[in-house]
Structure 1
Amino acid sequence: MPFSHSPATRRILLIDDDVELAQMLREYLEPNHCRLTLAHTGAQGLALLAQDDFDLVLLDLMLPDGNGLDLLKHYRQRSRRPVIMFTAHGGETDRVLGLEFGADDYLAKPFGPRELKARITAVLRRFEETPDAGRPCLTLGALTLDPATGLVRVGGEEIALTGAEQRILEILMRTPGQVVGRDQIGLYALGRKPDRYDRSIDTHISALRKKLRLDHADMLSIRNLRGLGYVLAGGA
């Protein structure tokens, strides 16, 4: 079935040296309103990213000419467009680093094309939702978020967040002092419920803490209540 969020063709860049996987994904995704451009090295991927703004990037972290984390970090310096990364099965460290460097979601290899399609649909839906210009800015202490633009400031300093990070921060700022469950955060920020062993929400929140320099004295803090969820506290 076609992607349900829009009939428009989405331009996707796949950076992966697995030729067989690339061909399988092209055959599966292109009938579903996707035009897949292939790059089999990091250098090819960087060259294509410099030429065009793709709607989404699929990135393998193990590339023949370098680490995909370096490419991801470089790309995040110029674009907030969504990135889904592929990691080797069991590569938890790479998954954590990828999310901290700005990936929106990840899939461990091997994976099925239907699962990838579902992740693409969820990530694009969240990224492409039309901002509501009437939504007021959210402010807690020195922290300000404009939901319509995604602009985040701490004091007078602008902080660059990924789309997933911004949506996690928004749902926490809308309910300060109240626990927000992991499933609720996952649905709002990623478009899916995290499974029992999925640490992506925790990793995104860890990145938020670092970027916003939270958990210092007289500042806001994001607290993890084991088995319940997360709460944004302080900032009075």
Structure 2
Amino acid sequence: MPFSQSVVTRRILLIDDDVELAQMLREYLEPNQCLLTLAHTGAQGLALLARDDYDLVLLDLMLPDGSGLDLLKHYRVRSRRPVIMFTAHGGETDRVLGLEFGADDYLAKPFSPRELKARITAVMRRFEEVPDTGKPCLSLGPISLDPATGLVRLGAEEIPLTGAEQRVLEILMRAPGQVIAREQIGMYALGRRPERYDRSIDTHISTLRKKLRLDHTSGTLSIRNLRGLGYVLAGAD
């Protein structure tokens, strides 16, 4: 089924050197209110990103002129818009690195166009939600978060987070000291339940720990993993 007719057409940049895959995805996605622009090298992708804003970027890890990770790092300096990364089948290290470098989600090749469409819908739904300006700012220890703008501060320092990272932090901050299941975090941050061997949520948590220096600041706050239960944001014992 195509996306609802009430949904605005999404402008998507696909950066992948697989010409056949790119054409197949264009044929599948464009009738579903996605307008695809294609780039087959990192240089082409960077040039397009420099002169235009896209709603979403689809980025392959392996490009003929360099690594997709380097392109992702460059893009994250100027934009928080969603990025879904394509990685080689079975390359867990590559997938984890992609998330740590700022990807919102990933897909291992080969994948079906239908699965990609579902991931796009889920990621964009989270990114496009109208902020509730009535939500009060959240504050816990040195960390503050404004849900309406996504602005996160560690003391006086502004900490840039991706949309997925911000939502993971938000759900933990709304219930400090309470264990939040991985499935609940996945639905709130990514719009889907993590699969059995899916490391997306765990990697976003790891990145938050690094960015917010939760493992290195006097121990005032920590994000703890309770195996088999989920994660909890709490003060140190």
Q: TM-score scaled to structure 1, two decimals? A: 0.98
Structure 1 position 6, deviation (Å): 4.5
Q: How far apart are the structure 2 equivalents of 1:198 and 1:212? A: 23
Q: How far apart are the structure 2 equivalents of 1:78 and 1:156? A: 21
Structure 1 position 8, deviation (Å): 1.2
Q: How far apart are the structure 2 equivalents of 1:11 and 1:221? A: 38
Same amino acid, percent of matched pairs: 85
When the two structures are aligned, how many residues end up with a matched partner?
236
Q: Structure 1 runs of 4+ off > 3 angstroms?
A: none
Measured against aligned partners, the alpha-carbon deviations of 1:167-193 in whole angstroms (never above 9, x if no partner) come to 000000000000000000000000000
Q: How far apart are the structure 2 equivalents of 1:77 and 1:5? A: 33
Structure 1 position 3, deviation (Å): 2.0
Structure 1 position 91, deviation (Å): 1.0
Name the structure 2 match of 1:117. Answer: 117
Q: How far apart are the structure 2 equivalents of 1:107 and 1:148? A: 29
Measured against aligned partners, the alpha-carbon deviations of 1:73-129 in whole angstroms (never above 9, x if no partner) come to 000000000000000001111111110010000000000000000000000000000
Q: TM-score scaled to structure 2, two decimals? A: 0.97
Q: How far apart are the structure 1 equivalents of 2:162 and 2:210? A: 13
Q: Which runs of 5+ in 2 are unaligned?
A: none
Name the structure 1 match of 2:92. Answer: 92
Structure 1 residues 1-10 or 204-213, which shifts more?
1-10
Name the amino acid aligned to 1:165: E
Q: How far apart are the structure 1 equivalents of 2:160 and 2:71? A: 17
3-state SS in 2 of match to 1:215: coil
Structure 1 position 5, deviation (Å): 8.8
Is the CA contact 1:107–1:116 (under 8 Å) kept in the aligned structure 2?
A: yes
Q: How far apart are the structure 2 equivalents of 1:176 and 1:211? A: 19
Q: How far apart are the structure 2 equivalents of 1:189 and 1:4? A: 22
- Whether 1:233 and 2:234 are equivalent positions in the alignment is yes
Q: How does 1:182-221 map to 2 (within 5 A)?
A: 182-216=182-216, 217-221=218-222
Name the structure 1 match of 2:64. Answer: 64
Q: Which runs of 5+ in 1 are unaligned?
A: none
Structure 1 position 213, deviation (Å): 0.3
RMSD, aligned CA = 1.2
- Whether 1:136 and 2:139 are equivalent positions in the alignment is no
Name the structure 1 match of 2:225. Answer: 224
Q: How far apart are the structure 2 equivalents of 1:108 and 1:74? A: 22
Q: How far apart are the structure 1 equivalents of 2:236 and 2:58? A: 37
